[in-house]
Amino acid sequence: MPNVQEHYHFLHDIPELGFQEFKTSAYIASQLAQAGIPLTQGVNNTTGIVAEIDSGVPGPVLALRADMDALGHVIDGVACARHTCGHDAHSAVVLSAAQQLMQEGAIKKGRLKLLFQPAEELGTGALAMLEGGALADVEMILGFHLRPQEECRLGQATPAVLYSACSTLEATIKGVPAHAARPHQGVNALDAAVQAVQAVNALHLAPGLSWSVKATRFLCDAGVTNSVPDEARVVWDLRSQENAPMATLKQKVTQAIQHSVAALGAHAEVVVLKEMPAADIHEDATALIRAAIVDVLGEEGLLSARTTPGSEDFFFYPVQLPQLKAGFWGLGCDLLPGLHHPDMRFDRRALEQGVHIFKAAVVRMLG
């Protein structure tokens, strides 16, 4: 059976974009089968896999989740997929942990489920797995992510990564076209879009909350410079450390866009392009991971919870299934220069540590 380093190298060399993880998924499936672990491929008609190690003895159902997709980059002018978020490492670690647990007969009660999910970067992979019913009987789910060096060094891990909620809104602003010489006959969508950007910038939430909103795309081109443009499209990126303020923020942003453009006689249609919930982490899951980290890295390797402005579609699992206890930990690996950087690199000695931490958590619950 290949070890975690070999799994990593194989997966690293076949990066595939979200929902196109065909080779990745085929490799993982063949490795699970080789270890004698029953699995279902093609969950909800995607590349997703659910596998299960059943002890045959009644007990809790624990799930480990890994994501499989790479990112799309343009490198030296060429569009390509590359593993710059470490999902190759995540899949390699969960796969190796599962193979070893199976081989060692370490699961004595309950069942261990293994989720290999597509399309985390698209924000819709976890939702596809949920729709496929992959988690119906699961009590606790654990996920993890490689952490940047500034957050966590090699030999360290954090039992809870507190991700932010994010939402991407796009407004299509419609005006009325006119000759630029007769602007009074039209409604200038560009002017209206500028108003909308200013109105959103003037919004406030309670000062104690952690949030941000900013325009990130502004498109307006009538094709000529001597007519009043009748359409503009603006995109905003919204962030919030918790889920509750995000609902308020979205509502305020939508209202500010619609009312500000209406003041000039324009109309705006606002749609959500992409959305991910904030971390929804259960104390029991964090306690289990904390103990597992200490088992492997000792007290000196255990960090406190880390707050990050990034987002993870993992949190759709607990948000959609409130009975599910979710835990999400972070593995230190001296990762530089940063996640999503085309030259992202990390110390691969962390891979074995990741395997051992997951195994320790599973054995504590199902051993």
Binding part of the chain for Zn ion, among 83-91, 192-200, 230-238, 254-262 by CB under 5 A, reads 83-91
Closest CA to 268 of 283, 285, 253, 247: 253
Residue 151 annotated as lining a ligand binding site: no
Q: Which of 32, 53, 85, 333 binds Zn ion (CB under 5 A)?
A: 85
DSSP 8-state assignment for residue 277? P
Residue 145 annotated as lining a ligand binding site: yes
Cα(95)–Cα(116) distance, rounded to whole angstroms?
9
> Cβ 339 to Zn ion, closest distance in Å?
6
Of the pair 85, 157, the CB lying nearest Zn ion is at 85
Residue 90 annotated as lining a ligand binding site: no
| CA 184 centroid distance within chain | 47
> Cβ 69 to Zn ion, closest distance in Å?
9
* Residue nearest Zn ion (C-beta atom): 85
Per-residue x/- track, 101-140, Zn ion (CB under 5 A)? ----------------------------------------
Cα(146)–Cα(148) distance, rounded to whole angstroms?
7
Question: How far is the CA of 190 from the CAs of 24, 228, 258, in angstroms?
Answer: 45, 8, 14
Of the pair 85, 127, the CB lying nearest Zn ion is at 85
> Cβ 24 to Zn ion, closest distance in Å?
14
Cα(105)–Cα(184) distance, rounded to whole angstroms?
79
Residue 356 annotated as lining a ligand binding site: no
Binding-residue total with Zn ion (CB under 5 A): 1
> Cβ 336 to Zn ion, closest distance in Å?
16
Of the pair 66, 196, the CB lying nearest Zn ion is at 66
Residue 340 annotated as lining a ligand binding site: yes
Cα(129)–Cα(136) distance, rounded to whole angstroms?
10
Cα(331)–Cα(326) distance, rounded to whole angstroms?
17
Give residues with Cβ within 8 angstroms of 315, minimum separation 6.
126, 163, 276, 277, 278, 279, 280, 326, 328
362 touches Zn ion by CB under 5 A: no
Give the binding site for Zn ion (CB under 5 A). 85
Residues comprising the binding site for Mn(2+)? 85, 87, 121, 145, 340
